[in-house]
Amino acid sequence: VEGGLWCGVVFQELCACCAECAVGCQCMEDTHSVRCVSASLSRIPPALPKNTLSLVIRGDQIHQIHQNCFNGMENISTLELTNNGIMELGSHAFSELRVLRRLDLSENRLVLIHPEAFSIPGSPLQQLILSGSLYNSTSVTDLITALRWGALSSLLELDLSGNRLVLLPPGSFSPLPSLRDLSLANNSLVAVYSGTFSGLERLRDLDLRFNAFRAVSSEALRELEKLGQARVLLGQNPYSCSCEAQEFSRWINSSSSQVGDADKLLCGSPDELQGVPVRMLSSRSPGCYGKANAGEADVTLQTSYVFLGLVLGFVGMIFLLVIYLNRRDIEKWVTDLHAACRDVLEGYHYRYELDSDPRLRNLSANSQHHLRSEPLPPHASSDARTTQIPSDVTL
Ligand SMILES: *[C@@H]1O[C@H](CO)[C@@H](O)[C@H](O)[C@H]1NC(C)=O
Ligand SMILES: *[C@@H]1O[C@H](CO)[C@@H](O)[C@H](O)[C@H]1NC(C)=O
Ligand SMILES: *[C@@H]1O[C@H](CO)[C@@H](O)[C@H](O)[C@H]1NC(C)=O
Ligand SMILES: *[C@@H]1O[C@H](CO)[C@@H](O)[C@H](O)[C@H]1NC(C)=O
């Protein structure tokens, strides 16, 4: 009986100790932080200390976040839910977290983002990390709606890197008046349009590295100019150093305080300029390297000319072969033609009343007349003579 009681006491104590921290999680009393890393969780565990300040749940299988997931942990200021396969953020998913400053949702697969997913009374959010969070680029529309409805007036930092974004609607960031740091690195952006960055009055850092910019149009340059003293990173893009790049090249120098990595902007094409810094373009050569893709077009054109030449040569050879095989018929045809001509010329002969051997005289007179009236290149006249030979022979 005594042994059983002892066991019971130990068991009770164990329960008291562990009830506050869920299986697979580490609860640090001193820092009030909780970490649940690769703990095979499929939801936010309910049994976590209510006074938690920092909650990290990483590498688990939590597919949805809804309003009542956080169970009164009202003092969380840092929430990291990375690499959990999260697909859905419900309405007011974080609205219990009245002092949430930093929200990291990197490496998830967000398909559904409720327009009010980021709505938190008092708008405490300062950092929103959504790196590699979106399932595909379609979700960006939902995200931008949620940013607008969330009224994130205190947001200082937004990370949208690695989301395969292709297009950003104009005014996407205008609901974020306090934003200082915006990362759009490692996406598939090809252009900046007028209005892309409108409303970002306080921006200090803009990261556009590792995108698909080939050219930076004058429209884009004007849009970047509007960012005032913000530091813009534009490296690691496949710039096409054609004629159109000249303006960009000059702009980099004139606002080099703005372009933070001016020396890392390298030409990706054409081949002969690969690796050349874009800012060196206008000093390297006063001329212009032709339109974008001009090199490729030239090669295509040359190829088609060569092909055309080959085809024509082949046709010519077949033609010559046919002539050679039918040389007897042709000889006969030329003879007939000659006879016909002779008949006609005889008619002329009667008209001009020429004496002795009318056929030959008439023929030679005619061919001389022909040579005089239109001077032919030497090979052409020799050709004319060779075609005459068979007719002379038959005469
Ligand atoms: C949250 O913090 C406040 C102020 O420090 C404190 O009074 C309150 O008890 C805390 N809430 C919880 C659930 O621990
Ligand atoms: C993104 O995923 C959704 C859901 O699977 C799909 O309907 C949509 O066509 C996808 N969009 C793109 C651009 O692949
Ligand atoms: C870029 O984003 C892709 C996902 O879109 C990710 O797999 C890759 O690691 C990222 N690269 C860098 C350098 O961040
Ligand atoms: C830009 O600056 C670099 C180095 O300061 C210089 O070599 C280059 O010629 C300049 N380019 C233009 C277009 O002024």
- pLDDT at residue number 253: 84
- pLDDT at residue number 140: 93
Query: Under a CB-based contact definition with an 8 Å cutoff, are residues 181 and 157 in contact?
Result: yes
Residue 385 scores a pLDDT above 90: no
Could you tell me whether strands 205-207 and 181-183 are parallel, antiparallel, or unpaired per DSSP bridges? parallel
Q: What's the 176 CA to ligand 3 centre distance in angstroms?
A: 25
Query: Of residues 386 and 152, which shows the higher confidence score?
Result: 152
Q: What is the average pLDDT across 329-336?
A: 82
Q: What's the 37 CA to ligand 3 centre distance in angstroms?
A: 22
Which two three-digit tokens encode residue 290?
């032709």
Which two three-digit tokens encode residue 224?
């970047």
Residue 384 scores a pLDDT above 50: no
Q: What is the average pLDDT across 378-389?
A: 44
Q: What is the average pLDDT across 180-207?
A: 96
Residue 374 scores a pLDDT above 50: no
Q: What's the 256 CA to ligand 4 centre distance in angstroms?
A: 10
Task: Provide the percentage of residues in the chain whose pLDDT is more than 70.
Answer: 77
- Is 188 near ligand 2, meaning CB less than 6 Å away? no
Ligand 3 pocket residues where CB is under 6 Å? 132, 162, 164, 186
Residue 373 scores a pLDDT above 60: no
How many CB atoms are located within 10 Å of the residue 157 CB? 18
Before 270, cis peptide (omega within 30)?
Answer: yes
pLDDT single digits (tens) 12-70: 444 444 447 888 999 999 999 999 999 999 999 988 999 999 999 999 999 999 988 88
Give the N- to C-terminal CA distance of the chain in Å, as an integer.
Answer: 145
Residue 11 scores a pLDDT above 80: no
Q: What is the average pLDDT across 81-87?
A: 96
How far is residue 86's CA from residue 63's CA, in Å, rounded to a whole number?
4
Which protein residue has the closest C-alpha to ligand 4 atom 6?
Answer: 280
Query: Of residues 54 and 308, which shows the higher confidence score?
Result: 54
- pLDDT at residue number 33: 95
pLDDT single digits (tens) 206-236: 999 999 999 999 999 999 999 988 999 999 9
Q: Is the pTM of this model over 0.75?
A: no
Q: What's the 137 CA to ligand 2 centre distance in angstroms?
A: 8
Residue 5 scores a pLDDT above 60: no
Contacts 24+ apart (CB under 8 A), 242-246: 242/215, 242/270, 242/288, 242/289, 242/290, 242/291, 242/292, 242/293, 242/294, 243/288, 243/289, 243/290, 243/291, 243/292, 244/215, 244/217, 244/291, 244/292, 245/215, 245/278, 245/281, 246/281, 246/282, 246/288
pLDDT single digits (tens) 142-163: 999 999 999 999 999 999 999 9
Which protein residue has the closest C-alpha to ligand 2 atom 14?
Answer: 136
Which protein residue has the closest C-alpha to ligand 2 atom 5?
Answer: 111
- Of 51-55, 82-86, 161-165, 304-308, minimum mean pLDDT range: 304-308
- Is 137 near ligand 2, meaning CB less than 6 Å away? yes
- pLDDT at residue number 164: 94
Atom in ligand 2 nearest the alpha carbon of residue 139: 1
Which protein residue has the closest C-alpha to ligand 3 atom 7?
Answer: 162
pLDDT single digits (tens) 349-359: 655 554 555 55
How far is residue 23's CA from residue 20's CA, in Å, rounded to a whole number?
10
- Is 50 near ligand 1, meaning CB less than 6 Å away? yes
Domains and CATH numbers, the chain: 18-245+255-261 (3.80.10.10), 329-395 (no CATH)
Q: What's the 72 CA to ligand 1 centre distance in angstroms?
A: 10
Q: What's the 20 CA to ligand 1 centre distance in angstroms?
A: 16
